[in-house]
Amino acid sequence: MSISPLRAHQPASSSGPRILIYSHDTFGLGHIRRCRAIANRLATSFHDPSIVIISGSPVIGSFEFGDGIDYVRVPGVVKLPDGTYSTSSLSLDLEETVRIREAIIMATARGLRPDILIVDKEPTGFRDELVQTLQFLKEAGTRIVLGLRDVLDEPAVIVPEWQRKGALAALERFYDEIWVYGLPQIHAPLEAFDLSPAAVRRIVYTGYIPRELPPRPQPARYPKLTREPFVLVTTGGGGDGEELIDWVISAYEADPSIPLGALVVFGPFIPRARRMAFIERIAGLPRMDAITFDTKIEHLMHRSEGVIAMGGYNTFCEILSFDKRALIVPRRTPRLEQTIRAERAAELGLVSMLDGAMLEPGARRDPAMMGLAIRALAEQPLPSKSFPKGLLDGLDRIEAATHALMTQTRIAAPRDAVFA
């Protein structure tokens, strides 16, 4: 558990907007990268803002944030292969860890006194850790927003899951707006739910969240392979991408004449033993290389000829933003989120796709099939040839919606009174 130091140049009090962003972060990099993109845009959109991100990500300190942004890290939790959860570092049981997280979240809300709370994906937080804070902030007059990625899961899974968690009741009770970071032409994640007409009116489709090249204060030392045309192989955090990496390596082992080189970015969560085994195989392949992790992977994607990925939300946004040809191999477990997104994107001509069933443990993956798909990647139309209107308007619409909420908040009582 750590709380980052406050930036020295921030004044003791600020008349600018105060925004709290909650990200439960039980796995991977997607949630924190999405919250970071939103925070960085909002920090440049207001005068003298104070934006705090609450996160359980163990790597949040590796990312750069704009002025006016800080973070509070709560104790981490991880999702195990059987679907249960455990603490990631502490020698405490899960219930104790959740109580600590809950207390930190409430203390942060009381201390910051936010005008707006933006909650990422989980309406009640991890194991209901957000409910008391939602109740407190609602009574205090804070405007509360739920931000959802474009796809949650198949209806047969997500509807009973949300009912069991009390997420639908929380959505109806606490949330002033629901921002869907996508377009209904690709997927409508709340369509399967029996929402009240009032809740339906609160839904705002923002479009996808675009990515820009982050600043690089010093020249990057990329592998020599990147000086020539190459494909970028990325599985996000890497905790569930071993099978895709294995399939790509096997393609180059079977066919060393594949014209495009391939750079693998493992991600910080791939097991060390597995990573070392992959590195040993890659060392014998002249058309492949690998690096462990790059917090500014956007630069590598921008330089690449194309991308091979599993198609998580953030990678999909990057592919669209940098207009890169992409081969998506979506995982099918524990959720169908990536598969639903990839199938629809392929139908629209935004990406090409291989069956994610090949990523299941024990599946027999044909190296020649992957090799042919990599060869075909260079001939694919660019995604921009098939862009629906407003596809990448996400940050513009989030900024506009936030400004609109700021005009509505705390009209009845001053901040110091409601948080006394």
Question: What does the pLDDT read at residue 77?
Answer: 86
How far apart are alpha carbons 193 and 155 in whole angstroms? 8
* Mean pLDDT in residue range 99-118: 97
Q: What is the pLDDT of residue 7?
A: 34
Contacts of 224 (CB under 8 A, 6+ apart): 289
C-alpha distances in angstroms, 118 versus 12, 123, 167, 213, 320?
23, 10, 15, 24, 24
pLDDT band at 218 (very low <50, low <70, confident <90, very high): low
**Amino acid identity at 269:** F
pLDDT on residue 388:
95
Query: Could you tell me the domains of the chain?
Result: 2-210+392-418 (3.40.50.2000), 224-386 (3.40.50.2000)
Please measure the distance between the N-terminal and C-terminal CA atoms of the chain and give it in whole angstroms: 27
Higher model confidence: residue 408 or residue 413? Answer: 408
Listed residue (269, 343, 351) closest to 316, CA to CA = 351
User: Which pLDDT score is estimated for 328?
Assistant: 98
State which H helix or E strand residue 181 sits in. Answer: strand 177-181
Own/partner long-range contacts of 33-37 (Cβ < 8 Å, ≥24 apart): 33/63, 33/314, 34/120, 34/147, 34/149, 34/181, 34/209, 34/313, 34/314, 35/118, 35/120, 36/63, 36/65, 37/209, 37/211, 37/395
Looking at 8-22, 106-120, 123-137, 292-306, which range is the least confident one? 8-22
pLDDT at 8: 33
Query: CA 147 → CA 86, 120, 372, distances in Å?
Result: 25, 5, 38
Q: Look-up: residue for tokens 């629209």?
A: 348
Does residue 4 register a pLDDT over 70? no
Q: Which of 26-30, 80-84, 95-99, 410-414 has the lowest mean pLDDT?
A: 410-414
Other C-beta atoms within 10 Å of 246: how many? Answer: 18
Question: Exposed (0-12), middle (13-18) or buried (19+): which is 151, by Cβ within 10 Å?
Answer: buried
**Confidence bin at 419 (pLDDT 50/70/90):** low
Tell me, what's the pLDDT at 394? 98
pLDDT in the model for residue 309: 97
Pairing relationship of beta strands 306-309 and 288-291 according to DSSP bridges: unpaired
Name which of 34-48, 127-141, 236-250, 333-347 the model is least confident about. 236-250
Rounded to 10 deg, the angle between the 94-112 and 131-140 helix axes is 20
- Whether 216 shows a pLDDT value over 90: the answer reads no
Strand 85-87 to strand 77-79: parallel, antiparallel, or no bridges (unpaired)? antiparallel
CB burial of residue 4 (10 Å; 0-12, 13-18, 19+):
middle
Q: Quick check: 242 pLDDT over 80?
A: yes
Per residue in 312-334, pLDDT (tens digit) is 999 999 999 999 999 999 998 88
89 has a pLDDT exceeding 50: yes
Count CB neighbours of 417 within 10 A: 11
Quick one: pLDDT at residue 243? Answer: 94
Helix (H, G, I), strand (E, B) or coil at 276: helix
| Single-letter amino acid, residue 227 | R
pLDDT at 335: 85
How confident is the model over 341-390, as pLDDT tens digits? 999 999 999 999 999 999 988 889 999 999 999 999 999 999 999 999 99
Sequence-ordered list of residues with C-beta below 8 angstroms from that of 27, at least 6 positions apart, any chain: 78, 79, 237, 239, 269
User: How big is the CA angle at 93 (ends 174 and 165), to the nearest 5 degrees?
Assistant: 30
Mean pLDDT of the chain: 90
List, for residues 267-316, the tens digit of each pLDDT value. 888 889 999 999 999 999 999 999 998 888 999 999 999 999 999 999 99
pLDDT at 83: 63
Q: Which two tokens stand for residue 276?
A: 């070392």
DSSP state of 214: P
- Determine the pLDDT at residue 124: 97
